[in-house]
Amino acid sequence: MAMGCGVMTAVMGGFGHNALHQRGETWDCWLFDCAGISHEDYRVGAHTYHHMRPNLPGDPDAFGMPPFVIWSPPTHCKTSTKMLRCIFSPLAFHMWAAVTVLLLQGVNLSRPGLFKRDFRQNAALVAPFVMLCILVFSGWALSLHGEFFRGGVIKYGLTGELGILHSVGLWLLTWTSGSFYFMLVTNVTHNQERNWVASPRDIQDWGAWQMATATDISIPCGLRGVPLCGMMLIFLHEQTLHHLFPALDHSRLHSLRPMVQRTAEEFGLTLHPPRNYLCMYLGMLADLAGISVSKVQASICRRKQS
């Protein structure tokens, strides 16, 4: 149940992300803080840079966590370095994904002038703190209740501490699960090999660059326009269209795909079709490992032909 609650906090963050793109000041923007990130800081800071320069220097989402997590195309380096990246970088990413939200909360706590800043800048600390307080109180109350009815009030001290520790453990599980889910969805859409081999020297147009650096997630069985399906993908299954029309409600983006595809073709561009999430996940791992999927596929084709 704790893991399910964590996933839903990430989903609520998707609703807040949609709201802050459209208005930025209404109550539903605060849902973004359920993901552990301040909507005020994110909207006017990191997110603006990300939409202006995706996968370029200055994009905080492309920075990763060097030297452990590196988002970049395969590089020419020593064999030992390639092997180390191939093994360690995907593992490091999954560990980083699970604790990212907790790390961001730690950064917020460590900033100087914590209690002097505007409340909106500290809002991302409210939801985790309230949840922790509720869980700890519940653990303490349940321990007290159980010992009282068993007549073992003397043993309460030990069981009360265990109840509180159990509650803290559930709190950590909730936030690591939500962080892991949030990062797995948000990172696959900008970290396919195709998204990184695009060169800004060859693509000068802003719209063309957005199309080159984003990949969409497919939803099977004709359910692409169903809000529940988009909700569970944090409304980022239309990442390309979201980058082209960032202020448009995410639930309306799918209806623009035919028009955008025709317009792209008129200018000699391609709006790539959505891809299966599993394939995108494997493509992201290949990117982390520094493996060129296209070169591997070409090598396999050559071997079959010979």
Q: Is 45 helix (H, G, I), strand (E, B) or coil?
A: coil
Closest CA to 233 of 215, 207, 259, 210: 215
Q: Is 65 helix (H, G, I), strand (E, B) or coil?
A: strand
> What b/e string do you get for 42-63 counting C-beta neighbours within 10 Å, with b at 16 or more?
bbeeebebbeebbbeeebebbe
Q: Beta partners for 217?
A: 275
pLDDT in tens, the chain (306 residues): 778 888 888 888 888 888 888 866 677 777 787 766 777 777 777 778 888 889 888 888 777 676 778 777 666 666 666 777 788 888 888 898 888 877 777 766 666 665 566 655 666 667 777 777 777 777 667 666 554 444 444 444 444 556 677 778 888 888 899 889 998 998 999 999 889 888 888 888 999 999 999 999 999 888 888 888 888 998 899 999 999 998 898 888 999 999 999 999 999 999 999 999 999 999 898 888 887 776 665 555 556 555
- Say what the pLDDT of residue 304 is: 58
- Say what the pLDDT of residue 86 is: 80
| CA 175 – CA 7 distance, rounded (Å) | 9
The 3-class secondary structure across 224-292, one letter per residue, is CCCHHHHHHCCCCCCHHHHHHCCCCCHHHHHHHHHHHHHHHHHCCCCCCCCECHHHHHHHHHHHHHCCC
For residue 27, give the DSSP letter.
G
Q: Are 99 and 139 in contact (CB under 8 A)?
A: no
| CA 244 – CA 242 distance, rounded (Å) | 5
For residue 237, give the DSSP letter.
T
- Say what the pLDDT of residue 266 is: 93
- Say what the pLDDT of residue 35 is: 66
Q: Is 85 helix (H, G, I), strand (E, B) or coil?
A: helix
Q: Are 7 and 178 in contact (CB under 8 A)?
A: yes
- Say what the pLDDT of residue 158 is: 42
Structure tokens at 291: 């493996």
